[in-house]
Amino acid sequence: MEYAIIIIAAIFVNNVVLAQFLGICPFIGVSGKISTSVGMGGAVLFVMTLATVVTWLAQHYILVPLGITFLQTITFILVIAALVQMVEIILKKVSPALYGALGVFLPLITTNCAVLGVAILTIQKDFNLMEGVVFAISTALGFTLAMVIFAGIREHLDNMEVPKGMAGVPIALVTAGILALAFMGFTGLV
Amino acid sequence: MSQMKNFTKGFIKENPVFVLLLGMCPTLGVTTSALNGLGMGLATTFVLIGSNMVVSAVKDFIPDKVRIPSYIVIIATFVTIVELVMQAYLPALYNQLGLFIPLIVVNCIVLGRAEAFASKNSVGASIIDGLGMGLGFAFALTLLGSVRELLGSGALFNFKFMESDGMLVFVLAPGAFIVLGYLIAIISRLNKKNA
């Protein structure tokens, strides 16, 4: 039951992009087409889950016992950066097909603040390892959901006659605002 | 003259938020009021100045291959300083900004300036560039925060001058996207006129 609450809260109520404003750069940047946004979502799901596990272990088995939790930010970002590099190298060797699908998005993920954000939130919310993993997976699913819906809308937007001054990013942001308005309907669900 | 240009370009012409579209997450996330926007902007400015200064000072000693991780460590150091100082002296603001303080590390503006400017220029020029870009960022955040606070709660810097409560939606998440969209459209129009 507790897991169900974490899942619904992370996907709909506190959607990572539309309610918490994490991962806006890829949300605006690579949401031109549905296929690329699915690829980005897959890469984020993969890295976010791994990063949460590794940073959770680092926090509880290295930083806390040594009493150096003030090094959290610096440790986490290095762990994530190293992890992304490692995933890239391993994928290239082990599964070229998967690398072909996710490869282009991997370098972009280091600076995706959603990954670091979720790692820190997992610690702040005092989740155990299993809850952290569930939280990371459902946050990534929420990210993918928002990306795919947004990409679908933007594909249609391309064929519309948008006022000149609003074309491009401004209209995309206003659209995201309306989408966020729709997601606010989920408030109070849990 | 060129120093002056380094300083002023961050405000309108190369404004990191309105023109370069960098650092969107904190921009949207913390600007529920003018004061929060200003606080976040100044915190980022400090990190930018510090990281630009150190990166340009050590740029000749860092091998090219490991420069990005090295920059990240330098940036993370300054972010940790800001985090600890804020926690100690401005606990209220620290709680308001919350998660977004450690997330300055992954703000593309900071790494972007280190890579694009500080790694190629002198220490002095890099400090001025960091100051200009940081203040441009702070200016954008304060402007966005002011508009949202004004429309959402009829106040400015916590100073209330409207009887009614305003349209709450502008303080909530959707308002951030909508206000930023219109501000970007207005700024790009202004830039076109000047050019």
Q: Which residues of A touch B106 (CB under 8 A)?
A: 77, 110-113, 116
pLDDT at B184 > cutoff 80? yes
- How near does any CA of chain B get to the CA of A90, in Å? 20
Residues A41 and A133 sit within 8 Å (Cβ to Cβ): no
Q: Which residues of chain A have pLDDT under 50?
A: none
pLDDT at B78 > cutoff 90? yes
Question: Is B151 in CB contact (< 8 Å) with chain A?
Answer: no
Q: Which residues of B touch A149 (CB under 8 A)?
A: none
A23 Rama sector, left if φ>0, alpha if ψ -120 to 50, beta otherwise: left
Taking residues B135-139, what's their average pLDDT? 91
Q: Is the ipTM of this complex over 0.95?
A: no
Taking residues B2-25, what's their average pLDDT? 77
Residue type, B36: N
Which pLDDT band, with edges at 50, 70 and 90, does B45 fall under? very high
Residues A133 and A7 sit within 8 Å (Cβ to Cβ): no
- How near does any CA of chain B get to the CA of A3, in Å? 23
3-state secondary structure of B110: helix
Q: What are phi and psi of A90, to 5 degrees?
A: -65, -45
Which pLDDT band, with edges at 50, 70 and 90, does B51 fall under? very high
Residue type, B125: A
Residues A19 and B173 sit within 8 Å (Cβ to Cβ): yes
Question: Is B172 in CB contact (< 8 Å) with chain A?
Answer: yes
pLDDT at B16 > cutoff 90? no
A-proximal residues of B, 84-123, CB under 8 Å: 84, 99, 102-103, 105-108, 111
pLDDT at B1 > cutoff 50? no
Q: What percent of chain B has pLDDT over 70?
A: 96
pTM of the full structure? 0.84
User: Do A170 and B29 count as a contact with CB atoms less than 8 A apart?
Assistant: no
Residue with tokens 């997450």: B25
Which pLDDT band, with edges at 50, 70 and 90, does B120 fall under? confident
Helix or strand holding residue B160 (H, E): strand B159-160
